[in-house]
Amino acid sequence: MAAVQEAPRADLRPKRIRNFIKPLLVKPNTKVRLPQSFDPAFTAGFNSEDGVGAQEVLRQGVQLLSEYQDRLAAQNKYCLLVILQAMDAAGKDGTIRHVMSGVNPQGVDVHSFKAPSTEELDHDYLWRYNRRLPERGKIGIFNRSYYEEVLVVRVHPAILEREQLPPEDVGPDMWRRRFREINNWERYLTDNGFRIVKLFLNVSKDEQRRRFLARIDEPEKNWKLSTADAQEREYWDDYQQAFSDVLSNTSTEWAPWYVIPADRKWFARIAAAAVIADALIAIDPQYPTVTGAARAGLKEVRRQLQSEAQRGRKRSKKAA
Ligand code: ATP
Ligand code: MG
């Protein structure tokens, strides 16, 4: 009889997950230089041909996330904010879809931030993000975020002009100031029940070219590519520099950045799931225990439900 091949099991012990994501962490106060510092094609020794194995690992990771999310919601004390930043076609949407596929939709809020409206431009730059923060017990995902304020806004000075800033607030120092303000804001949030993880999906310029071409060549993908995306690609080096500066200055103990290698989609999904799982494991949410009068109340309800069933049985015996 042929031996039955067991599907590979992911090692989901907390320590293993932590070790797995360690190489992806941007250590606070270290200087990041893209593209040298992080390899977009890194797969942590996973075999890229092992598609089924990767799917199985992801499936188990997603299951783990779902269990933790249930506890997070029940405990209703902490919330998790997941920030996703990337160049176009790095796979933000697909990552969210796959990683969150098993999680109760009521427990997750996803917000995609586009170019700001006139109303949003009439407020301070964190205003619109503050309004979309998750409530306690929830996982909030920001598909793009306030980090655009030190990325696209930095790469395109014309956008800054639309932000109506007082002249004394604008100048070469302003990026350093925004980094400080963002770090402080995230510190404030973590002091008030938030846990924050930030994922930079790191795709290579070559892989982006391949994905853009596929979006042109495959009709059902045409809608995903705009000429604006191709124009943004012209600024690749400026973005790499801006991202390097963001990663170097805003990865903190309380809101760390992880660089998710994004050239292999299957690996990016496993890595993103692992980072989010690690954050939930650190929260370690517990189901509330019901004690005292509330517990006694439940026992009383139980007694009533049981006697109701007994009465029901007696009635149906009589009728028969
Ligand atoms: P997809 O293309 O997969 O639908 P996307 O996130 O690229 O997702 P788009 O509508 O293509 O969505 O792009 C959103 C645009 O909004 C990006 O070019 C981004 O840089 C821009 N944007 C986001 N936040 C800001 C901001 N604060 N200021 C200016 N532009 C912003
Ligand atoms: Mg886009």
The pLDDT value given to residue 52:
65
Distance 200 CA to ligand 1 centre (A): 15
Q: Residue whose CA is closest, atom 13 of ligand 1?
A: 114
Give the Cα-Cα-Cα angle 108, 109, 115 (nearest 5 degrees). 150
Tokens encoding 22: 């360690």
More confident call, 176 vs 309: 176
Closest ligand 1 atom to the C-alpha of 89?
Answer: 3
Closest ligand 1 atom to the C-alpha of 112?
Answer: 6
Q: Which amino acid is at 167?
A: P
Residues that place a CB less than 5 A from ion ligand 2: 88
Residues 58-67 have pLDDT tens digits of: 888 999 999 9
Q: Which of 267, 151, 260, 244 is nearest to 201 (CA)?
A: 260
More confident call, 48 vs 304: 304
Q: Examine the pLDDT at 3 and tell me if it is beyond 50.
A: no
Closest ligand 1 atom to the C-alpha of 232?
Answer: 18
Q: Residue whose CA is closest, atom 29 of ligand 1?
A: 115
Closest ligand 1 atom to the C-alpha of 125?
Answer: 27
Q: Residue whose CA is closest, atom 28 of ligand 1?
A: 115
In testing the pocket of ligand 1, which one of 84, 113, 114, 146 has its CB within 8 Å of the most ligand atoms?
114
What mean pLDDT is reported for the chain? 93
Q: Which of 270, 205, 193 is nearest to 234 (CA)?
A: 205
Q: 3-state SS string over 4-26?
A: CCCCCCCCCCHHHHHHHHHHHEC
Q: Which amino acid is at 137?
A: G
In testing the pocket of ligand 1, which one of 152, 165, 215, 225 has its CB within 8 Å of the most ligand atoms?
152
Q: Note the ligand closest to the C-alpha atom of 96.
A: 1
pTM for this predicted structure: 0.92
> What percentage of residues in the chain have a pLDDT greater than 90?
85
More confident call, 189 vs 11: 189
The pLDDT value given to residue 312:
84
